Structure 1
Amino acid sequence: MKILVIGTGAREHAIVHGLSQDPQVDAIIAAPGNPGMALVADCRPLPGGVLDGEGVADLAQEVAADLVVIGPEAPLVAGVADSVRARGLACFGPSKDAAQLEGSKAFAKEVMAAADVPTARSYVCDTLDEVTNALDATGAPYVVKDDGLAAGKGVVVTDDIDAAVEHAQACLDAGSSIVVEEFLDGPEVSLFCITDGQTVVPLAPAQDFKRVGDDDQGPNTGGMGAYSPLDWLPDGFVDDVVTRIAQPTVDEMRGRGTPFEGVLYVGLALTSRGPRVVEFNARFGDPETQVVLARLRTPLGSLLHAAARGVLVDHAELAWRDEAAVTVVVASDGYPVAPRSGDPISGLDDLDDAYVLHAGTATGDDGVLVSAGGRVLSVVALGDDLAQARQRAYTAVGRIELEGSHHRTDIALKAQQGEITV
C-alpha cells in the first residue's frame, strides 16, 4: 500500500512511525509533515493548507494513494474527508457531518442523550446569564467548555467562580456557545475505537496528563505525556465501554444517516457511579496515540485500510506488546501561554532505549533543527513495566537540549506506585 498521512504533529509522526513498521506499506507520504517524519516518509507541501480538501484530494490522486489518513481534527470538521472520498479514494477519518461529534460539544451531548450514553449533566449556554445559572446548578468544581474546537485548551475546571465566568465570557465574545457541565470525579481514561461505521474495534486504553505542571498544577495544555497499559482498570472495562458507549454512539450516527468512519476517541471519567463520557473526539488523541501505537503489534496500515473500506468485521483480532509505554512531552519556553519558537534542538541522535516523535519542529535556514511550536517533541519508551519505561523515557529527555524547555516529571508515576484507585 501507498498511504498519505495529513498533518504536522507528533500524533501524525506516531502514525507514520507505525505505518513504517507494516510490511504491507511500501510508501508513506506525509503532507505537510515535519522534519522527523521526513526521515521515513516523503514529505509534500500543501499550498492550501490542511483545510483545503480539494488540495488534499489532488495530492492523493497525484501520488496514487491507496489510503488517506487525516490526523488533526480541524480538517475533519472542515470536510476534507468528504473531498477525498468524492474522488473515489479510501479515507480514514469521519465526514464533516460525523466529525461534529468533536466539532460541537452540544451536538455530542445530543447524540449521547439519544444513544443513552452515560455522561455528565450539562447545559448549553449562549448568554452570560445562562452561564451563571448553569454554574449555580452544577456547583464547584466548575467545568466550562468552549462548544467548538479549541486544540485541547478550551476547557476550564476550577473552584473559582470568577475564573469560570471569565473563561465563559471570553468564549462568548469569540462567538462560541458554552457547555457547562457537572464535575466528574475519578481518574480519566482515553479509549480509541476504530470503526467503519458499523463494527467497533477498541484499542488499548491510555491515560494522558493535561495540566502543564507536576501534580496536575497550572493551565490545561494539549497534553504533556501519557502511558499504557492501565493495570488499575477493572476487569471487563473495555468491553463495557464498547457495549454501553462506543457501539450505541456509532449505531446512533449511522441511524442519522451520518455514519462515523475513522477513530472515535472516547474520553472517560471512572466515577463512583461507573464510567461517564467526558468528551468525544473524531481522531486519534495526542499524546495518547504515541503510547497506544507503540504497543500495537497488529500492522497499522491493514487495520486502517480495513476500516476505510468498510470490512473491519473481517479483520483479525488485534495483537499487543506486553511492554508498558510512556511518552513525555518536551515543551518550549513559555508554553502554553506564549510559546517561544526558533530555538536550536540537539541531543536526538543518541537516546538508546527511546525514540523521539516530532511535534513542533522545523529546519532553519542553516539546516539546524529548531523549535516551531509549543509542544516540541514526544519522547517515547517501552519497558518491561512502567518503572523501566519511565526510566528510559526520562533518561532520553535528559539528553535533549532545548533552551528554556520544560516537561512534567511525574508522567505515569502514580500508576507505577500503585496509587490510582477506582
Structure 2
Amino acid sequence: MRVLVIGRGGREHAIVWALSKSPKISKLFCAPGNGGIAGLAECVPITELQFEEISTFAKEQAIDLVMVAPDDPLAAGLVDHLESKGIEAFGPRANAAIIEGSKVFMKELLKKYSIPTAAYETFDAYEPALAYLRSQKAPIVIKADGLAAGKGVTVAQTMEEAEAALRDIMVDQVFGKSGASVVIEEFLTGQEMSLLAFVDGSTVRLMVPSQDHKPVFDNDKGPNTGGMGTYSPLPHIPESIVQEALVNIVQPTADAMVKEGRPFKGVLYAGLILTPNGVKTIEFNARFGDPETQVILPRLKTDLLDIFLAINNGTLAEQPIEWSEDAAVCVIVASGGYPGPYPKGLPITGLENVQDSLVFHAGTALENGQIVTNGGRVLGITGIGKDIVEARQKAYADADRIHFDGKHYRTDIAMKALK
C-alpha cells in the first residue's frame, strides 16, 4: 500500500516510524514532514490545511490511505474533503472532531450524558464571564473554546492571573476566533492520566495509559506547554482505575457521539484526572496525543496499519492488539524561551551519538544537509527499558548527548511513578 501521513511534529514522526515497520506498505509519504521524518518517508512540501493540494497529490500518487494526524485539519474537515474525492482517509470527520475543536461542545456533551467532568460555565461575552469569574475562588481554570496549539488553557493560581487570562482570550483575542467563547471550570486536584483509544464508532479499544507533563519547568512549575515529556506504563495507577475510566468515561463518550449522529472513527484521547470523587474528564482530543504517542507506539507490537484499516472497515472488535511489557520514557528537548518566543535555525549536533533511545523530531528542519531547530519543542528522546528506571536513565543519557544553543528540558519526567 501507498500511505500518506499529514503533519510535521513528533507525533507524526512516531506514527511514520510505526507505519514504516509494516510489511504491507510499499511507499510512505509525509506532508510536510520534518528533518527527522525525511529519513523514513518522502517528505512533500504541502502544508496541513492545503486540502486541494493534498487530494491532488493523493490522486496523482495513487495513495491508498491518507492518515490525518493533527487537530487543525481534522477540525477543518480534511477527512470529509478526501472522502468526497473518493480517497480513503483515517481520522474522524469534522462533525466528530468537534469534540476537540470546541471545548464548549465537549463540556455540554458530557453534561447531557452524565459523564464525569469538572463543574463549569460557558460564556460568549466578556462582561458576564468576568462577573461569573469574580464570584469564584482561585485556583480556577480558564479555557479558550477552540484550538490554540495546546496553549489555550490557563490554570490560574490567583484571581489576578485568572482575570488576565480571560482578558487575553476575550478582549485581546490572543487566540483569534478560538477565544470567541470560553469555559470557566473548577480546578481539580489529583494524578493526571492520558488514556488514548482506538475507536470505530461503538467499539473502543484502549491503548496503554501514559502520563504527560504540561508545565515547562520541574515540579510542574511555569506556564503550560504542549507537553514536556511523558511515560508509560503507570505503575502507581491500578488497572481498576483504567477500567473505571473506560466504563464511566471513554465508552459512554463514544456511545454519546453515535447517539448525536457524530460517530467517532479514529483515535480518541481522554485527558483524565484521578480525584477523591473518582476519575473525571479534563479534555478530549480527536487524535494521537503529543508527546504521548512517542511512548505509546514504541510499546505497540501489532501492525499499526492493520488497526487503522480495521477502524475504517468497522472491524476493530475482531482486530488483535498486542502491547509490550516494556516501559518507555520520553523527554522533550525544547528551544530556549519556549513556550514564549524562541529562535529557529540553530544547528543541532550529537544526534549521531545517541545510543539507547528513539529520537522523534518535533520541531526540526533539514537545511543544506544540517538538522536545525524549527520549533519550540525540538526533539522527543524516548528511552525503552524493562522498567521506568531503566527507560528514564536511557532517555536522559541520550538527551545529554544532543546539543543546540539554549536547549532545555525538565529533569523530573516520570518521577511521579517512582515516588
Query: Is 1:230 the equivalent of 2:234?
Result: yes
Judge which range, 22-31 or 343-352, deviates more: 22-31
Give the counterpart letter for 1:361 in structure 2: T
Query: Residue in 2 aligned with 1:411?
Result: 413
How far the C-alpha of 1:414 sits from its partner, in A, is: 2.4
Judge conservation of contact 2:103–2:183 (CA < 8 Å) in 1.
yes
Judge which range, 129-138 or 400-409, deviates more: 129-138
Query: Taking every aligned residue pair, what percent have the same amino acid on both sides?
Result: 47
Query: Residue in 2 aligned with 1:260?
Result: 264
Query: Residue in 2 aligned with 1:12?
Result: 12
Give the counterpart letter for 1:217 in structure 2: K
Judge which range, 254-263 or 221-230, deviates more: 254-263
Query: Residue in 2 aligned with 1:130?
Result: 128
Query: Is 1:21 the equivalent of 2:28?
Result: no
How far the C-alpha of 1:325 sits from its partner, in A, is: 0.1
Secondary structure at the counterpart of residue 345 of structure 1: coil
Query: Is 1:324 the equivalent of 2:327?
Result: yes
Query: Residue in 2 aligned with 1:67?
Result: 65
1:242 alignment partner, one of 238, 243, 246: 246
Query: Residue in 2 aligned with 1:357?
Result: 360
C-alpha offsets along residues 354-405 of structure 1, whole Å, 9 cap, x if unaligned?
12111111122x3211101111111111011111111000000000011111
Q: Distance in 2 between matches of 1:22 and 1:138?
A: 52
Q: Distance in 1 between matches of 2:90 and 2:383?
A: 27
Query: Residue in 1 aligned with 2:293?
Result: 289
1:333 alignment partner, one of 325, 331, 336: 336
Query: What are the within-5 Å matches in structure 2 for residues 374-385 of structure 1?
Result: 374-385=376-387
Q: Distance in 1 between matches of 2:63 and 2:73?
A: 18
Secondary structure at the counterpart of residue 163 of structure 2: helix
Give the counterpart letter for 2:8 in structure 1: T
TM-score, normalised relative to structure 1: 0.95
TM-score, normalised relative to structure 2: 0.96
How far the C-alpha of 1:138 sits from its partner, in A, is: 4.3
Query: Is 1:207 the equivalent of 2:207?
Result: no
Q: Distance in 1 between matches of 2:127 and 2:282?
A: 24
Query: Residue in 1 aligned with 2:79?
Result: 81
Query: Is 1:113 the equivalent of 2:111?
Result: yes
Query: Residue in 2 aligned with 1:189?
Result: 193
How far the C-alpha of 1:167 sits from its partner, in A, is: 0.9
Give the counterpart letter for 2:353 in structure 1: D
Judge conservation of contact 1:114–1:252 (CA < 8 Å) in 2.
no
1:170 alignment partner, one of 157, 168, 171: 168
C-alpha offsets along residues 127-149 of structure 1, whole Å, 9 cap, x if unaligned?
33322343345422111011111
Query: Residue in 2 aligned with 1:91?
Result: 89
2:224 alignment partner, one of 220, 226, 233: 220
Give the counterpart letter for 1:401 in structure 2: H
Cα 1:115/1:42, change in 2 over 3 Å:
same
In the alignment, structure 2 segments of 5+ residues that lack a partner are none
How far the C-alpha of 1:353 sits from its partner, in A, is: 0.9
C-alpha offsets along residues 187-220 of structure 1, whole Å, 9 cap, x if unaligned?
1100111111121111011001000000111111
C-alpha offsets along residues 309-359 of structure 1, whole Å, 9 cap, x if unaligned?
22212211x211111100001101111111111110011112111121111
Q: Distance in 1 between matches of 2:95 and 2:136?
A: 30
Secondary structure at the counterpart of residue 239 of structure 2: coil
Q: Distance in 2 between matches of 1:136 and 1:163?
A: 12
How far the C-alpha of 1:246 sits from its partner, in A, is: 1.6
Q: Distance in 2 between matches of 1:62 and 1:242?
A: 42
Q: Distance in 2 between matches of 1:309 and 1:42?
A: 27
Secondary structure at the counterpart of residue 337 of structure 1: coil
Q: Distance in 2 between matches of 1:202 and 1:97?
A: 22
Q: Distance in 2 between matches of 1:82 and 1:344?
A: 39
Query: Residue in 1 aligned with 2:350?
Result: 347
Judge conservation of contact 1:333–1:406 (CA < 8 Å) in 2.
yes
1:280 alignment partner, one of 276, 281, 284: 284
Judge conservation of contact 1:221–1:336 (CA < 8 Å) in 2.
yes
Judge which range, 130-139 or 103-112, deviates more: 130-139
Judge conservation of contact 2:130–2:166 (CA < 8 Å) in 1.
no
Q: Distance in 2 between matches of 1:123 and 1:160?
A: 19
Q: Distance in 1 between matches of 2:286 and 2:77?
A: 12
Give the counterpart letter for 1:274 in structure 2: G
In the alignment, structure 1 segments of 5+ residues that lack a partner are none
How far the C-alpha of 1:236 sits from its partner, in A, is: 2.5
Judge conservation of contact 1:333–1:340 (CA < 8 Å) in 2.
yes
Q: Distance in 1 between matches of 2:83 and 2:206?
A: 24
Secondary structure at the counterpart of residue 363 of structure 1: strand
Q: Distance in 2 between matches of 1:91 and 1:115?
A: 29
Secondary structure at the counterpart of residue 95 of structure 2: coil
